Chains A and B, each alone.
Chain A
Amino acid sequence: MINYLSDPTLVPLAALEVGKHWYWEIGNLKVHGQVLFVSWFVIGVIVTASVAASRQVQLVPSGMQNFMEFVLEFLRDLAKGQLGEKEYRPWLPFVGTLFLFIFVSNWSGALLPWKLIEIPAGELAAPTNDINTTVSLALLTSLAYFYAGISKKGLGYFAGYVQPMPIFLPIKILEDFTKPLSLSFRLFGNILADELVVAVLVFLVPLFVPLPLMALGLFTSAIQALVFATLAAAYIHEALESHEEEH
């Protein structure tokens, strides 16, 4: 009987695999199709919500407009808190988009029943569970803070590497590498770890036991979206600030 139970073709029990991707060939490149697919879904959700909220804008908001205004106020407070009243406005779209994309991808990966859609290889899940997604978001943030510093101070931005003392130079250079590294790994690790933990628990005890961890996963993934956006705004602020004007 043990032989019967352990034969996967006779008794289909759960299986767990990591690292299988649905490869799409675009020119010479291979991309992870499942990540792109869910990313487009996430973009579609955010764009649809924004369009639905901004049709026939009313002075007293209701429904979708009310909800999106709430979201916008949250993003505005987030940006204002990090960048300050005077400089936050040009950076609000960037920081807001980071937060919304990461938040909606994490929650849609955790909440929606992606398993129902069969794809040729691997499975659909949150796009942020792929290191490529998180690294690209982190590199975009790096690009953003470099752009912020250089557009405000020109090449004088690099003079900031030896302030307040020249001994800081290696630390600041190292920071230019560790900032995107920590941003990407933090988000990737959190999302993949949550998915793996839920997958392993579902593999072992499919009923009820995974639920508290799924709820924890929802909470921590929301926090990670907030942390990513907050840190992006903080790095931009750090690149913009000059030490003469103390706030």
Chain B
Amino acid sequence: MDTTLASASVIAAGLAIGLAAIGPGIGQGTASGQAVAGIARQPEAEGKIRSTLLLTLAFMESLTIYGLVIALVLLFANPFA
């Protein structure tokens, strides 16, 4: 694999995962904050709030994972190499 392609892939992989982590990170933080506020307001609802929180965290996580998959493809299964 020639050097330009290799360096471009490496930079792209780094950007892919780095940028992909920003949005979901903010989203998960907001969701968790609201969940904690909900538990504080109504401690009996903790079970439901926690399971809903975990489910929604997984959805947001998947957006970062999409970026990670692109990074992995670029590094380990590069279609141009």
Residues of A within 8 A of B (CB): 18-19, 182, 185-186, 188-190, 192-193, 196, 220, 223-224, 226-227, 230
Contacts A190-B61, A227-B58 given: A185-B66 contact, CB under 8 Å? yes
B74 at the interface (CB under 8 A from A): no
Instruction: Tell me if A's interface is mostly helix, strand, loop or mixed.
Output: helix
Q: Give Cα A193–Cα B58 distance, bound, in whole angstroms.
A: 14
Q: B62 — which chain A residues lie within 8 A by C-beta?
A: 182, 185-186, 189-190, 227
- Shortest distance in angstroms between B78's beta carbon and chain A's nearest beta carbon? 10
Q: Which of B65, B72, B76, B77 contacts A186 (CB 8 A)?
A: B65
Q: Give Cα A19–Cα B78 distance, bound, in whole angstroms.
A: 11
Q: B54 — which chain A residues lie within 8 A by C-beta?
A: 223
A189 B69 Cβ-Cβ under 8 A: yes
Q: Give Cα A18–Cα B69 distance, bound, in whole angstroms.
A: 13
Contacts A188-B69, A190-B65 given: A224-B58 contact, CB under 8 Å? yes
What are 17 residue pairs bridging A and B, where the CB atoms are less than 8 Å apart in the complex?
A: A19-B77, A185-B65, A185-B69, A189-B65, A189-B66, A189-B69, A190-B65, A192-B69, A192-B72, A193-B65, A193-B72, A220-B58, A223-B54, A223-B55, A223-B58, A227-B55, A230-B55
Q: A193 — which chain B residues lie within 8 A by C-beta?
A: 65, 68, 72
Q: B76 — which chain A residues lie within 8 A by C-beta?
A: 18-19
1/0 contact string of B56-72 vs chain A (CB within 8 Å): 01110110011011001
| B33-81 contacts to A (CB < 8 Å) | 54-55, 57-59, 61-62, 65-66, 68-69, 72, 76-77
